[in-house]
Structure 1
Amino acid sequence: MPPNFAASSIPDTIMDATAWEAELTLGFSQRGDKTALVKRQHRGPLTVQRPFYPEAEICHVYLLHPPGGVVAGDRLTINASAEAAAQALITTPAAGKFYRSGGGEAQQAVNLKVAEHASLEWLPQETIVYQGARLDSSMTIDLAEHGRFIGWEILALGRPAAGEGFDNGSANLNWRISRAGRLLYLERLRLDAAAFQARWGLFGHSACGTLFAYPATALHLAAVQALIGEEPNRGVTLIEGLLICRALDRRADLLKGFFERVWGLVRGEVVGKEVCLPRIWAT
C-alpha cells in the first residue's frame, strides 16, 4: 500500500501541519534485454532512487518520500505503468508513517496499469498508522487481458511496542482491480477503534494485510492453503484467477514474513522468476 519513507525526526504528534501535495508518475518499457524506467515525473516531495537490476531484466525501483511521514492534509498520488512485456518491481526503503491528526485526513492514491504480457509487483514495506491518524487510501489496478500483478498492503495500527493501541483514528482502504476493462474486484474497508477491538474486526491484532496475485490457479490456492495449515488468522481464496490472501498478526514484521512466503509460492509462474528479495529490505 502506501509508500515507505526514509528515517525521519518528525515527532508522532504532528497536528495538521502545513500540508504537502505530491505526485509521482513512472513508466516502464522493455528495452533490449531488460526493462527501463523510461518515464519519471514528480511534483512535490515524492521521487525514486535510480533503478536496480538484481535479476538482470526486471527493473527494481525504490520510492522515496523525503519528509519522512504523512500528516493530515497531505495528498500523495503515485501512478505507474508497465508497457507490453515490461517487468518491474516497486518497493520502499522503510516503513511508511501516517501521523496523528487534529481532525483532518491524509490521502493517498496509487494507480497502476499493466499492459499485455507485462508484470508489475507492488511490494511496499508496512505502513504505520499512528493512533489518532486519519488515512484515506485507494489502490486502482488496471490489467490488460494478459497482464500480471502481485501486490500487497500491510498495515500496522498503533505502536504496540510503545504501549500504544488504536483507540481513535481511522483508515479507509479501497482496492479496485480490473482486467481488460472489466471490473474484477472491488473492496472498501474501514478500520477504526471499534473494528480494531471487535471479534468481527481485528480483535486487537495490530497488523493486518492483504496480498493479491494475478493470474493464479487452483494449484496456487492449494499451495497457499498448505502453507497456512492450521495457523490461525490466515486465509486465502481464488476468484476468477485472482488470488486473495489475508492475514492478521500481532507484529507487522511477522505478517510480512508470511506474505514473503506466499510470494515465493506464486511468483515463479505469475512473473516467471523465483523470489529475489530487494536489497533495501536487508538494511
Structure 2
Amino acid sequence: MRPDFASLSNPDPITDLSAWEAELNLGFAQRGDKTVLARREHRGPLTVQRPFYPEGGVCHVYLLHPPGGIVAGDRLTIAATVEHDAQALITTPAAGKFYRSGGGEARQNVNLQIAENASLEWLPQETIVYEGARLNSSMNIDLADRAHFIGWEILALGRPAAGEGFDNGSANLNWRISRAGRLFYLERLRLDAEAFQARWGLFGHSACGTMLVYPATPLQLGAVQELIGDESNRGVTLIEGLLICRGLDRRADLLKSFFEAVWGLVRGDVIGKEVCLPRIWAT
C-alpha cells in the first residue's frame, strides 16, 4: 500500500518563517534482475542522488539534505516503500547535525514500509546532537509477514573533541514497529542532561545507538552475544523475531564499527547477501 504523500506533512504550524520544512517520498520496485527507484517525490531541501548498484541488483540510495544541518523549527519527513521482492539500502553521505536551539524543537519523521519478500536496510551515518539542541525523532516501520529489515540509529550527544558535553538540550526518540498491521514493538526514549550523566543513563558516554534486525533467530542472537563477549556497554536481545542490539561508546565511529560487525554477522541470513559497504562511507 502506497503511503499518502500529502498526509506525511506535520499539521502543526511553523512559526519561524526561516525554518525548513522538507519531505521526501521514495518507492522501490523490482524490475527484472534489479531493484529500481520507481518513485521519487520531494518538497524542500531533501532529495537523493541517483541510485548505485555496487553489488548487482540491490539499489543503494544516498539521502541528501543540502542545508547541512537542522535547526529549531525544521521539520523533515522521509517515507520509503519497498515493493514485493525489491531490495534497497538507504544511507547518508555524512553525519546529520542538529544545532543548538533557543527553545524551539526540530523534528524528523521516518516512515518505512516493506512488503512481502522485500528487504530494506536503513543505515544512516551518525546524528550529531549539539549541546542545547532539541530533537524529536520518530521512526515508524511497517513490515509484512515475510519482510526483511536491518536498521540502526546512532547518536552523538555534544562534541567531545571540541570540549562540548551535553549540559542542556534533549533528544526524544520514538520507534514504532508493526508486523502485518499489528503493533509489536514500541519504544520511547528521552535523553537530556540528566540522562547523559546518570549511571542509569549514558553515564557520560557521548555516543549511543540501537540496531534492529528482522527476522532474526536464536542462532543470530548467539552469534552477536559471542561477538560482544565480555565487552562492556554492549547488549543484545531477541523479541518475537526482532533482534535488538544496543551500545554506548565514547565515540560514534567506534559504535558504528560495532554495528557494522553485527551487520556482517546477520546480513547473509536476513538479506541473502554478504556485506557490501556503501561507497560513500569511504569518501
Q: Which amino acid aligns with 2:53?
A: Y
The aligned residue for residue 262 of structure 1 is 262
The aligned residue for residue 90 of structure 2 is 90
User: What whole-Å deviation, never above 9, does each CA across 1:225-245 have from its counterpart, x for those lacking one?
Assistant: 000000000000000000000
CA distance in 2, matches of 1:273, 1:140: 25
Whether the 8 Å CA contact 1:202–1:248 is kept in 2: the answer is yes
- The yes-or-no answer on 1:204 pairing with 2:189 is no
Q: Which amino acid aligns with 1:163?
A: G
Aligned-pair CA distance for 1:18: 1.4
CA distance in 2, matches of 1:137, 1:55: 31
The aligned residue for residue 159 of structure 2 is 159
Secondary structure of 2:68's aligned partner: coil
TM-score by length of 1: 0.94
> CA distance change for structure 1 residues 71 and 17 in 2, over 3 Å: closer, same or farther?
farther
Q: Which amino acid aligns with 1:237?
A: T
Q: Which amino acid aligns with 2:230?
A: E
Aligned-pair CA distance for 1:44: 0.2
The aligned residue for residue 20 of structure 1 is 20
The aligned residue for residue 224 of structure 2 is 224
User: What whole-Å deviation, never above 9, does each CA across 1:104-139 have from its counterpart, x for those lacking one?
Assistant: 000000000000000000000000000000000000
The aligned residue for residue 7 of structure 1 is none
Aligned-pair CA distance for 1:184: 1.6
User: What whole-Å deviation, never above 9, does each CA across 1:1-31 have from its counterpart, x for those lacking one?
Assistant: xxxxxxxxxxxxxxx7810000000000000
Q: Which consecutive unaligned segments of at least 5 residues does structure 1 have?
A: 1-15
CA distance in 2, matches of 1:188, 1:215: 22
TM-score by length of 2: 0.94
User: What whole-Å deviation, never above 9, does each CA across 1:74-95 have from its counterpart, x for those lacking one?
Assistant: 0000000000000000000000
The aligned residue for residue 52 of structure 2 is 52
CA distance in 2, matches of 1:237, 1:17: 44
User: What whole-Å deviation, never above 9, does each CA across 1:13-68 have from its counterpart, x for those lacking one?
Assistant: xxx78100000000000000000000000000000000000011000000000000
Whether the 8 Å CA contact 1:205–1:250 is kept in 2: the answer is yes
Whether the 8 Å CA contact 1:17–1:72 is kept in 2: the answer is no
Q: What is the number of equivalent residue pairs in this alignment?
A: 268
Secondary structure of 2:211's aligned partner: strand
CA distance in 2, matches of 1:183, 1:200: 28
The aligned residue for residue 144 of structure 1 is 144
Q: Which consecutive unaligned segments of at least 5 residues does structure 2 have?
A: 1-15
- The yes-or-no answer on 1:245 pairing with 2:245 is yes
Aligned-pair CA distance for 1:265: 0.5
The aligned residue for residue 37 of structure 1 is 37
Whether the 8 Å CA contact 1:17–1:71 is kept in 2: the answer is no
User: What whole-Å deviation, never above 9, does each CA across 1:180-201 have from its counterpart, x for those lacking one?
Assistant: 0111210000000000000000
The aligned residue for residue 13 of structure 2 is none
Q: Which amino acid aligns with 1:188?
A: R
CA distance in 2, matches of 1:17, 1:225: 49
With a CA cutoff of 8 Å and minimum separation of 6, indicate the structure with the bigger relative contact order: 1
CA distance in 1, matches of 2:72, 2:250: 26
| Sequence identity percentage | 83
Secondary structure of 1:224's aligned partner: helix
- The yes-or-no answer on 1:112 pairing with 2:112 is yes
Secondary structure of 1:222's aligned partner: helix
CA distance in 1, matches of 2:223, 2:244: 13
The aligned residue for residue 77 of structure 2 is 77
CA distance in 2, matches of 1:55, 1:216: 23
CA distance in 2, matches of 1:139, 1:241: 19
Q: Which amino acid aligns with 1:151?
A: G
The aligned residue for residue 102 of structure 1 is 102
The aligned residue for residue 11 of structure 1 is none
Aligned-pair CA distance for 1:171: 0.1
